[in-house]
Amino acid sequence: MFCYQCQETMKNTGCNLKQGVCGKSEKTADLQDLLIHTLKGISTLINEAKNFKEKAEKINTEKEDEFLLQSLFSTITNANFDENWFVKRITEALKIRDDLKEKIVSNGIFLKPSIYALDSVKWKDDEKNYYEKAKTVGFLSIEDETRRSLIATIIYGLKGMAAYADHAFVLGQKDNSILEFMHYALASTLNDELKNEDLINLITKVGEYGVKTMALLDKANTEKYGQMEITTVDIGVRNRPGILISGHDLKDLEMLLEQSKDEGIDIYTHSEMLPAHYYPYFKKYPHFAGNYGNAWWKQKEEFEKFNGPILLTTNCLVPPLASYKERLFTTGIVGFDGVKHIEADENGYKDFSPIIDLAKKSAPPTSLEEGKIVGGFSHVVIDRLADKVVEAIKNGKIKKFVVMAGCDGRMPSRKYYEDFAKALPEDTVILTAGCAKYRYNKLNLGEIDGIPRVLDAGQCNNSYSLALIALKLKEIFNLADVNDLPVVFNIAWYEQKAVLVLLSLLYLGFKNIHVGPTLPGFLSKEVAEFMIKNFKLGTITDVENDMKLLIG
């Protein structure tokens, strides 16, 4: 295997042993590469067929579009560890690809022979040979390190885009221009005629469509569940049995809450599901109890103590301990060998009764902590507080906003973010989204004229809100450049959705962004130098030096 898509990749150069740092096996990692290789063939066929405009319009690609989103999403770090699932998925991909070839020909479209000669378009083999084939199509098959780095950045950004677009899709929101771009970008990674400059331009386009995708998901969430409200969330436990839901999918939470009402059990959120409490739709359920635990990487300890069943809805699964594996359920694109999986029917409905029945037989959760945390500061909420915020800035009570969004992770060096938050002067406000907030959202950092010093906008995709807040301040203060704002970026990253968020911020013109604990391992020396020179991208050092650099 060779995988360097997450922040914890071995030595920050790539996991290349029998198992990745995330727990993914060599076979699973290689099969994921083969799935992406085959997706490139599907996207190439769709992209090339679109050159035959009127004829191409007759080809319905809804099945291929949905398959692309879910397949790319399934390869994100900590999403699916089940190699048998990927074997089946590759077989399905080959059928979809070959059926697409027939659809193209039947509509009178005849592509160049060179397209059909591409390995992604033509390869086929027995399932027993998938593993050997997979070893030939990973990133190391791209010999030039700089080109490999640029293509990796594109593909990892597309993985993040697929995750957010899929969340929107299940809520009935779809933007065909995003899907067309995804097919185009994935197909472009096979185009040997593209120079490095072309690939850099394509990376910028990934950022542009990243903004569109996060805006689409924001629309999907708020039209369905209402605009976020400032909300106080209980982090203690009640005395009834419960179900713990983790991941990111709000539709799954909606179905679970509806099916479990009046059943004598409570529902708790974990990690990135915390922001569900900020949407008014979910407040009608009295058994929606609160948030249990912290970021995804603590789940072995916290799932153990929860006592009841746990539902994983998206990525952020850690290989489970035997002590709670029987209480763990997956759904959607999540998978782990031996863990029970809840499938949706043809209408998207999921029957969560096995989880509810198990919860009724379980003991109440063991208390981890007591208290409350406040969140729900989306761009809409901040708009309503704009006068108050502007007044605090003009009066010098708020000197700087520090964007500390992103992902949390297991590395001990990530304590830096807690220490950095503690060291910030009292005239600074933290803007956050994603599970990175668990490093400081339970600290007592106080308020400034009633404005909490930690403003949580929600899940990682709500980093879009943070960008809009900054752009709104730019407009209010009539500044020519968003980088003239009293806003600095000190972002933690872990996986591919964070890659998309970073590319989106760069597209919007934000510079001097510091990421950590390390720069991405998939950035070659040459590409990293380009990012540092052109976007002033930096990484963290230590709290004392970074405080001087970022805060002054």
* Gyration radius of the chain over CA positions: 23
Rounded to 10 degrees, the C-alpha dihedral 536/537/540/546 comes to 30
What are the DSSP calls for 218-276, one per residue?
Answer: HHHHHHHH-S---EEEE-S--SS-EEEEESS-HHHHHHHHHHHTTSS-EEEE-GGGGGG
Same domain for 434 and 497, yes or no, is yes
- Domain end residue (candidates: 164, 199, 223): 223
Residue type present at position 540: I
User: 311 Cβ partners below 8 Å, 6+ apart?
Assistant: 243, 244, 245, 246, 247, 252, 256, 329, 330, 331, 342, 352, 355
Task: Give first-to-last CA distance, the chain, whole Å.
Answer: 44
For residue 250, CA distances in Å to 154, 331, 467 come to 27, 13, 22
Residue 3 lies in a domain: no
Give me 145's structure tokens.
Answer: 């390190």
Within 348-495, residue ranges assigned H as helices are 353-360, 379-384, 386-394, 415-423, 463-476
- pLDDT of 6: 97
Same domain for 175 and 249, yes or no, is no
Same domain for 168 and 262, yes or no, is no
Q: Tens digits of per-residue pLDDT, 201-234? A: 999 999 999 999 999 999 999 999 999 999 999 9
Q: Residues 132-161: what's their mean pLDDT?
A: 98
The CATH number that applies at residue 121 is 1.20.1270.20
Q: Tens digits of per-residue pLDDT, 346-397? A: 999 999 999 999 999 999 999 999 999 999 999 999 999 989 999 999 999 9
Same domain for 481 and 545, yes or no, is yes
Same domain for 418 and 354, yes or no, is no
Say how far apart CA 401 and CA 429 lie, in whole Å: 5
- pLDDT of 53: 86
Same domain for 478 and 352, yes or no, is no
Same domain for 31 and 169, yes or no, is yes
Task: Report whether 190 contacts 120 (CB < 8 A).
Answer: yes
Say how far apart CA 246 and CA 304 lie, in whole Å: 14
Q: Tens digits of per-residue pLDDT, 58-90? A: 899 999 999 999 999 999 999 999 999 999 999
pLDDT band at 405 (very low <50, low <70, confident <90, very high): very high
Same domain for 444 and 530, yes or no, is yes
Parallel/antiparallel/unpaired status of strands 242-246 and 266-269: parallel
Say how far apart CA 78 and CA 314 lie, in whole Å: 9
Q: Tens digits of per-residue pLDDT, 438-475? A: 999 999 999 999 999 999 999 999 998 999 999 999 99
Residue 4 lies in a domain: no
User: 545 Cβ partners below 8 Å, 6+ apart?
Assistant: none
- pLDDT of 54: 86
Parallel/antiparallel/unpaired status of strands 487-492 and 513-516: parallel
Give me 179's structure tokens.
Answer: 């899907």
In the block, residue with structure tokens 């909490």: 452
Positive or negative: CA dihedral 272, 275, 281, 287: positive
pLDDT, averaged across the chain: 96
Residue type present at position 54: E
- Domain end residue (candidates: 180, 202, 223): 223
Sheet holding 428-432, edge to edge: 454-456, 428-432, 400-403, 487-492, 513-516, 538-539
In the block, residue with structure tokens 């981890």: 368
19 forms beta bridges with 25
- Domain end residue (candidates: 360, 394, 416): 360
In terms of pTM, does the model score above 0.85?
Answer: yes
Give me 447's structure tokens.
Answer: 């308020």
Give me 275's structure tokens.
Answer: 């922001």
- pLDDT of 56: 85
Given a cut of 90, whether residue 96 has pLDDT beyond it is yes
Residue 327 lies in a domain: yes
When divided into structural domains, the chain yields a total of 3
Same domain for 381 and 452, yes or no, is yes
Phi, psi at 350, each rounded to 5°: -120, 130
User: 260 Cβ partners below 8 Å, 6+ apart?
Assistant: 243, 267, 287, 352, 356, 359
Same domain for 316 and 383, yes or no, is no
Same domain for 338 and 384, yes or no, is no
Task: Report whether 309 contacts 359 (CB < 8 A).
Answer: yes
Parallel/antiparallel/unpaired status of strands 310-312 and 242-246: parallel
Parallel/antiparallel/unpaired status of strands 451-452 and 447-448: antiparallel
H-helix or E-strand spanning residue 310: strand 310-312
Domain that holds residue 324: 231-360
Same domain for 196 and 237, yes or no, is no
375 forms beta bridges with 231
Give me 193's structure tokens.
Answer: 């005629």
Task: Report whether 97 contacts 41 (CB < 8 A).
Answer: yes
Residue 157 lies in a domain: yes
Given a cut of 90, whether residue 57 has pLDDT beyond it is no
344 forms beta bridges with 350
In the block, residue with structure tokens 């991208």: 537
Residue 429 lies in a domain: yes
Given a cut of 90, whether residue 138 has pLDDT beyond it is yes
Say how far apart CA 106 and CA 38 lie, in whole Å: 22
Residue 199 lies in a domain: yes
Give me 192's structure tokens.
Answer: 């040997």
Give me 285's structure tokens.
Answer: 């359920």
Task: Report whether 495 contacts 77 (CB < 8 A).
Answer: yes
Residue type present at position 486: P
Task: Report whether 546 contacts 514 (CB < 8 A).
Answer: yes
Phi, psi at 453, each rounded to 5°: -80, -5
For residue 483, CA distances in Å to 164, 394, 536 come to 27, 18, 11
The CATH number that applies at residue 458 is 3.40.50.2030
Say how far apart CA 325 and CA 309 lie, in whole Å: 9
- Number of Cβ within 10 Å of residue 514's Cβ equals 20
Q: Tens digits of per-residue pLDDT, 309-340? A: 999 999 999 999 999 999 999 999 999 999 99
Phi, psi at 146, each rounded to 5°: -65, -45
Task: Report whether 111 contacts 49 (CB < 8 A).
Answer: yes
Q: Tens digits of per-residue pLDDT, 10-46? A: 999 999 999 999 999 999 999 999 999 999 999 999 9
Q: Tens digits of per-residue pLDDT, 248-286? A: 999 999 999 999 999 999 999 999 999 999 999 999 999
Residue 136 lies in a domain: yes
Residue 366 lies in a domain: no
Q: In 3-state terms, what secondary structure has residue 487?
A: strand
